């Protein structure tokens, strides 16, 4: 008997093609009516199960819109006191955090999170990762002027910035008011004529022993109400000798601060990402980058500033920093169209990008070309570096790679400690075709070679969901290929055929992430119940463990779990009753490394993988149910540092592990004893587990 139950799953229908709100230049994920997938619970034998509504959504945040501060918001040429300070060569970058009073007004839990965990941890990481080439002594910031005219003048040998009318009542860094004690004395030159008169309190103490002052606020700004963002940040003052940003702000949107423990890692990586924008990774700073000898990479006018591009609202960089390159871009119907990209071409970035992709002729690292102002140009291309911390949208397993560290070095302002770089798997060693051609070209080529499409995919998100593993094999995932309400722009139409899709509909299909050039890839997701977040599909999070009676695949979530492909749907069996779940394809399991090779653990039973792709017939007993299914062996090298040569596995013993008659009266007692014994095994397994990263 097959019964269809009302188990509903909603999948986010993704972002509208080329969506961009007007006015503030916002653009965000659109939920154009959730697609309701009807899950089917197969009931073989008459067991009734209760119905629940479990919508599933792909975890994707709105893109980061780094707001490059306008010319009037930034003060350049700020002279530093005691500019050169003797320091140890290995001394870290020093970021001084100044909390605005809006932080003090947060609810105690949120305030504690921000002040004791979020910012100290983010700043500590960045301080260890970077070092300033020319350290500052004391930072004393310039004052803003009262009116918005082009009003400041400077005089040689006078480090003060002079306003033609009067100084602003408050000098702000982004939305945050800079404390008076961090400011120079106000100077006013009436009618723009010298001499300038000193007004108000004399020069203050400034901020000592810091290379960068970070003003942290929690103001409910207009941006917070318009954009679904946790925080945003930028620089606000640049010093005179090297143009390095010396002050910046990070504003947290108070309603978006979550004290949920499972959200902490995501918020931390967002805060790191935002501070990196303020320190140097910003299109507003490209024109100020310098070479390793400290010479500007973009030529300057007499006033020391690079040319200003009024249409972009940015200082115009030279092609020593960012260069436009035309790519050959394969699309559907065997067409090839020109696709222009902006590449960051500074030397260390080129070097690291070539090494990462294993493409010695790569001209530079591609910058984001979509998402509108703030997202494009200010991030790495999502298609190429998906989970890198400086791509334009948050992904759960964000890593700060050597490529971003190289960029920070290529600003000319910092040195990077590469031992702090995190391992980036996406795109690694994939070659020139991966990094220089369209994902259609890559997918077609892999199909012709009968090789995995990784990291891309071409299975439609449909009912039932076909589960797979995220590219790093640490989370259950689904392919984000979906139908859009409108045809995609021609250069992003990649499919010549898709199973079950009529030819005329093919232009509507693409990956749900616009900024990844609509290339489809496997993404982790989360389960929601009545709109409430329940759990994610990250194998390493213990809290994601499914309830006992929903754990069809006998999965195990936890810090040492990885995602494995299921070759067939798992069936739970008890007496005459059989249960299976329609959404299958992968699950989380523990693995361990042994001299014989990789072992896969299901409950307390280990299965040896003799070679990658080997099918492991799994049959175990758990809580009075027999779980039967097949798992696919991953490559031992994916998880272990040492692996024996691959061999053919021994002949499969298909005898089912049915230790007991589960239907007999004594079964419950025996099952309990069995479970007790089973509980000891994970302890033993824990000793055998390898540590991997
Ligand atoms: Zn950003």
DSSP 651: P
Q: Is 366 a catalytic residue?
A: no
In 3-state terms, what secondary structure has residue 683?
helix
Identify the burial level of 307 via C-beta atoms within 10 angstroms of its C-beta, where 0-12 means exposed, 13-18 middle and 19 or more buried. Answer: middle
Q: What is the pLDDT of residues 155-191, one digit of tens each?
A: 556 677 788 888 899 999 999 999 999 999 988 876 6
Q: How far is the CA of 66 from the centre of ligand 1 (A)?
A: 5
Q: What is the pLDDT of residues 321-356, one digit of tens each?
A: 999 999 999 999 999 999 999 999 999 999 999 999
Q: Is the pLDDT of residue 46 over 90?
A: no
Separation CA 9–CA 6 (nearest Å): 9
Please tell me the predicted confidence (pLDDT) of residue 90. Answer: 56
**55-69, 126-140, 180-194, 240-254: range with lowest mean pLDDT:** 55-69
Nearest to 478 by CA among 491, 486, 469, 487: 469
232 Cβ partners below 8 Å, 6+ apart? 64, 65, 66, 67, 223, 250, 251, 274
Give the pLDDT mean for 259-287.
93
Q: Concatenated DSSP letters for 44-59?
A: ES-------B--EEE-
Please tell me the predicted confidence (pLDDT) of residue 35. Answer: 29
Query: In this structure, are residues 244 and 88 in contact, taking their beta carbons and an 8 Å threshold?
Result: no
Q: Is the pLDDT of residue 623 over 90?
A: no
Please tell me the predicted confidence (pLDDT) of residue 677. Answer: 39
Q: Is the pLDDT of residue 667 over 80?
A: no
Helix spans in 358-471 (H): 402-410, 432-436, 439-448
**140-149, 312-321, 377-386: range with lowest mean pLDDT:** 140-149
Nearest to 571 by CA among 653, 626, 617, 652: 626
Query: In the structure, what pLDDT confidence band is assigned to residue 494 with cuts at 50, 70 and 90?
Result: very high
- How many residues are given for the chain? 693
- Which H, E and C letters describe 291-355, residue by residue? CCCCCECCCCCCCCCCCEECCCCEECCCCCCEEEEEEEEEECCCEEEEEEEEEECCHHHHHHHHH
Q: Is the pLDDT of residue 47 over 70?
A: no
Q: Is the pLDDT of residue 665 over 70?
A: no
Helix, strand, coil % over all residues of the chain, rounded to 5: 20, 30, 50
Please tell me the predicted confidence (pLDDT) of residue 63. Answer: 81
Please tell me the predicted confidence (pLDDT) of residue 178. Answer: 97
Q: Greater confidence, 672 or 62? A: 62
Q: Greater confidence, 152 or 495? A: 495
Query: In the structure, what pLDDT confidence band is assigned to residue 56 with cuts at 50, 70 and 90?
Result: low
Query: In the structure, what pLDDT confidence band is assigned to residue 394 with cuts at 50, 70 and 90?
Result: confident
Two tokens, residue 681: 């095994």
The CATH number assigned to the domain with range 54-260+269-288 reads: 3.10.170.20
Separation CA 31–CA 33 (nearest Å): 5
Give the pLDDT mean for 190-197.
69
Please tell me the predicted confidence (pLDDT) of residue 149. Answer: 55
Nearest to 66 by CA among 314, 322, 323, 317: 314
Look over the chain and give the mean of its residue pLDDT values, rounded to a whole number. 83
Please tell me the predicted confidence (pLDDT) of residue 624. Answer: 87
Q: Is the pLDDT of residue 37 over 90?
A: no
Q: Is the pLDDT of residue 687 over 80?
A: no
Q: Is the pLDDT of residue 53 over 70?
A: no
Q: Is the pLDDT of residue 231 over 70?
A: yes
Q: How far is the CA of 246 from the centre of ligand 1 (A)?
A: 19
Q: Is the pLDDT of residue 670 over 70?
A: no
Find residue 593's DSSP bridge partners.
598
Q: Is the pLDDT of residue 51 over 90?
A: no
Nearest to 357 by CA among 339, 376, 380, 341: 380
Q: What is the pLDDT of residues 116-137, one digit of tens each?
A: 999 999 999 999 999 999 877 7
Nearest to 580 by CA among 97, 109, 4, 43: 43
pTM as predicted: 0.82
Q: How far is the CA of 378 from the centre of ligand 1 (A)?
A: 7
Please tell me the predicted confidence (pLDDT) of residue 482. Answer: 93
Q: How far is the CA of 281 from the centre of ligand 1 (A)?
A: 9
Angle at 257 between CA 251 and CA 259, to 5 degrees: 145
Q: Is the pLDDT of residue 57 over 60?
A: yes
Query: In this structure, are residues 622 and 554 in contact, taking their beta carbons and an 8 Å threshold?
Result: yes
Q: How far is the CA of 276 from the centre of ligand 1 (A)?
A: 9
Domain positions in the chain = 54-260+269-288, 451-527, 540-638
Question: What long-range pairs does 618-622 form, CB within 8 A, spacing at least 24?
Answer: 618/554, 618/570, 619/656, 619/657, 619/658, 620/554, 620/657, 621/657, 621/658, 621/659, 621/660, 621/662, 621/671, 621/674, 622/548, 622/551, 622/554, 622/678
Q: Is the pLDDT of residue 18 over 80?
A: no
Residue with tokens 């020069």: 203
Nearest to 30 by CA among 20, 16, 17: 16
319 Cβ partners below 8 Å, 6+ apart? 345
Query: In the structure, what pLDDT confidence band is assigned to residue 204 with cuts at 50, 70 and 90?
Result: confident
Per cent of the chain over pLDDT 90 is 59
Q: Is the pLDDT of residue 404 over 90?
A: yes
Please tell me the predicted confidence (pLDDT) of residue 582. Answer: 83
Give the pLDDT mean for 384-399.
90
Q: How far is the CA of 406 from the centre of ligand 1 (A)?
A: 17
Q: How far is the CA of 410 from the centre of ligand 1 (A)?
A: 18
In 3-state terms, what secondary structure has residue 599?
strand
Q: How far is the CA of 131 from the centre of ligand 1 (A)?
A: 21
From the options 2.30.110.10, 3.40.228.10, 3.40.50.80, 2.10.55.10, give the CATH code of 451-527.
Answer: 2.10.55.10
Give the pLDDT mean for 198-204.
85
* Active-site residue identified among 274, 366, 368, 381: 274
DSSP 692: -
Query: In the structure, what pLDDT confidence band is assigned to residue 19 with cuts at 50, 70 and 90?
Result: very low
452 Cβ partners below 8 Å, 6+ apart? 446
Angle at 468 between CA 466 and CA 474, to 5 degrees: 150
In 3-state terms, what secondary structure has residue 422?
coil
Q: Is the pLDDT of residue 628 over 80?
A: yes
Separation CA 53–CA 4 (nearest Å): 13
Antiparallel, parallel or unpaired: β 467-469 and 476-479: antiparallel
Two tokens, residue 266: 């995501």
Nearest to 413 by CA among 239, 664, 167, 589: 239
Query: In the structure, what pLDDT confidence band is assigned to residue 197 with cuts at 50, 70 and 90?
Result: confident
Q: How far is the CA of 515 from the centre of ligand 1 (A)?
A: 12
Q: How far is the CA of 273 from the centre of ligand 1 (A)?
A: 6
99 Cβ partners below 8 Å, 6+ apart? 114, 115, 216, 217
Please tell me the predicted confidence (pLDDT) of residue 187. Answer: 85
Please tell me the predicted confidence (pLDDT) of residue 99. Answer: 98
Separation CA 136–CA 613 (nearest Å): 56
Per cent of the chain over pLDDT 70 is 81
Strands (E), 240-310: 245-252, 308-309
C-alpha neighbours within 13 Å on the C-beta side of residue 645: 1
């Amino acid at each position: 008997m097959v019964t269809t139950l009302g188990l509903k799953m909603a999948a986010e229908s993704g972002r509208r093609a080329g969506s961009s709100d007007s006015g503030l230049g916002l653009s965000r994920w659109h939920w154009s009516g959730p697609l309701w997938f009807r899950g089917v619970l197969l009931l073989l034998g008459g067991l009734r199960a209760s119905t629940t509504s479990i919508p599933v959504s792909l975890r994707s945040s709105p893109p980061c819109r780094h707001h490059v501060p306008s010319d009037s918001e930034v003060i350049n040429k700020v002279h530093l006191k005691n500019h050169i300070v003797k320091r140890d060569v290995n001394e870290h970058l020093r970021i001084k955090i100044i909390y605005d009073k809006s932080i003090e007004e947060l609810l105690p839990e949120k305030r504690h999170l921000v002040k004791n965990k979020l910012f100290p941890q983010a700043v500590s990481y960045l301080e260890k990762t970077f070092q300033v080439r020319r350290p500052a002594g004391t930072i004393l910031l310039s004052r803003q002027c009262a009116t918005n005219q082009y009003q400041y003048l400077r005089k040689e040998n006078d480090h003060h910035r002079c306003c033609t009318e009067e100084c602003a009542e408050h000098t702000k860094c982004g939305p945050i008011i800079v404390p008076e004690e961090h400011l120079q004395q106000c100077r006013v030159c009436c009618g723009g004529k010298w001499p300038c008169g000193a007004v108000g309190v004399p020069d203050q103490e400034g901020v000592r022993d810091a290379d960068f002052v970070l003003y942290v606020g929690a103001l409910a700004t207009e941006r917070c109400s318009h954009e679904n963002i946790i925080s945003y940040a930028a620089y606000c003052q640049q010093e005179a000798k090297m143009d390095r940003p010396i002050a910046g702000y990070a504003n947290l949107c108070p309603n978006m601060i979550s004290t949920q423990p499972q959200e902490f890692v995501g918020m931390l990586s967002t805060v790191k990402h935002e501070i990196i924008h303020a320190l140097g990774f910003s299109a507003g700073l490209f024109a100020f980058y310098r070479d390793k000898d400290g010479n500007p990479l973009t030529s300057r006018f007499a006033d020391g500033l690079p040319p200003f591009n009024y249409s972009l609202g940015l200082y115009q960089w030279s092609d020593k920093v960012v260069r436009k390159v035309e790519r050959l871009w394969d699309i559907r119907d065997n067409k090839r169209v020109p696709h222009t990209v902006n590449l960051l071409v500074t030397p260390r970035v080129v070097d690291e990008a070539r090494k990462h992709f294993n493409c010695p002729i790569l001209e530079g690292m591609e910058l984001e070309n979509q998402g509108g102002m703030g997202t494009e140009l200010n991030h790495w291309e999502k298609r190429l570096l998906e989970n890198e911390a400086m791509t334009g949208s948050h992904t759960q397993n964000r890593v700060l790679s050597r490529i971003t560290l190289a960029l920070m070095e290529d600003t000319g302002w910092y040195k990077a400690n590469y031992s702090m770089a995190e391992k980036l798997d996406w795109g690694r060693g994939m070659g020139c075709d991966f990094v220089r051609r369209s994902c259609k070209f890559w997918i077609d080529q892999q199909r012709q070679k009968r090789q995995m499409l990784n990291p891309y995919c071409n299975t439609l998100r449909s009912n039932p969901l076909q589960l797979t593993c995220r590219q790093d094999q640490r989370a259950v995932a689904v392919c984000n290929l979906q139908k859009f309400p409108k045809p995609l722009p021609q250069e992003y139409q990649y499919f010549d055929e898709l199973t079950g899709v009529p030819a005329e509909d093919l232009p509507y299909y693409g990956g749900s992430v616009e900024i990844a050039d609509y290339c489809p890839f496997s993404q982790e997701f989360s389960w929601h119940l009545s709109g409430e977040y329940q759990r994610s599909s990250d194998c390493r999070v213990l809290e994601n463990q499914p309830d006992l009676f929903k754990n069809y695949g006998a999965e195990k979530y936890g810090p040492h779990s990885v995602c494995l492909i299921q070759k067939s749907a798992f069936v739970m069996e008890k007496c005459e009753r059989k249960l299976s779940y329609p959404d299958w394809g992968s699950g989380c399991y523990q693995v361990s490394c042994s001299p014989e090779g990789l072992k896969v653990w299901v409950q307390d039973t280990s299965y040896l993988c003799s070679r990658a792709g080997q099918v492991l017939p799994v049959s175990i007993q758990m809580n009075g149910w027999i779980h039967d299914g097949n798992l696919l062996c991953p490559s031992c090298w994916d998880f272990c540092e040492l692996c024996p040569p691959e061999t053919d596995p021994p002949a499969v013993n298909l005898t089912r592990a049915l230790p007991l008659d589960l239907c007999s009266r004594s079964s419950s007692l025996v099952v309990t004893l069995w479970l007790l014994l089973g509980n000891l095994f994970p302890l033993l397994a824990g000793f055998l587990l390898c540590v991997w990263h």
